[in-house]
Amino acid sequence: MVFLRGLLTRGLLVTVPILVTFALLHWVFRVLDNVLQPVLRLAFNAVPPGAGLVGGLVVILLVGLVANTWVGRSALRALESVVFRTPLLRTIYGGTKQILEAVVAGQRMPFRRAVLVEWPRRGTYTLGFVTGEHPLPIGGTVVKVFVVSAPNPTTGFLMLVPEEETTPLPMSVDEALTPVVSGGLAGSVQAVTEVLRIRGGAHDDGEDAGGSAGGAPGGIARG
């Protein structure tokens, strides 16, 4: 029963986002198609196939063009001030915007890969993004790690960390940005937890070896 419940949960987590995405896109293009049909009939005496898709792309481009102007930015700020004061709209609009900003920021910002850094204290990890490396004259490499501040992925702070003290993550920059800017509400941190599990196992093995030699250096002594 538990196994079937797990399969059902996993299936819902996979299919529901896909169905919701397609349903929203279908609804948007249907609305645009219904709005543009009268105009297209006047211009072409017929509605060509794919009018909704083409019309949707044109509308998105026009919105982007207007949003780049001073008037468009002012109107957007006024609209968002109303949206963010409305509980349900604030949740839907804010979450969607944060996810899209994460994807766009991952494409624009020079993030090379996602890493874990043990900070601000031992046993606590921060997810950061490598922006560059700097070799040291005495040997070794210092990694420049940018730690993103939620919900705006373009703000944060820079850390200079020895390369051996960073843990690479098996996930893309976009995948790592999504849970960060959404405060953990969106995206998956399964890869992070798996890395921590493996790291914890290796750390425990190291402590056991150290304990057999007379102590656990840098750690808590086992009773």
Give the H or E element holding residue 131. strand 125-135
Q: Tell me the β-bridge partners of 132.
A: 144
**Which pTM does this prediction carry?**
0.47
3-state secondary structure of 126: strand
Give, in order, the Cα–Cα distances in Å from 142 to each of 127, 166, 170, 172, 216.
Answer: 17, 10, 21, 22, 27
Nearest to 102 by CA among 187, 16, 191: 187
One pLDDT digit (tens) per residue for the chain, 223 residues: 766 777 777 677 667 767 777 787 778 777 777 777 777 677 666 666 666 667 777 777 888 888 888 888 888 888 888 888 887 777 777 777 766 665 665 555 678 899 999 888 888 888 899 988 888 888 888 999 999 887 666 678 899 999 999 999 988 888 888 888 777 777 777 777 787 777 665 555 554 444 444 433 333 233 3
3-state DSSP percent of the chain in helix, strand and coil, to 5: 60, 15, 25
Cβ neighbors of 24 (< 8 A, separation 6 or more) are: none
Residue type, 171: M
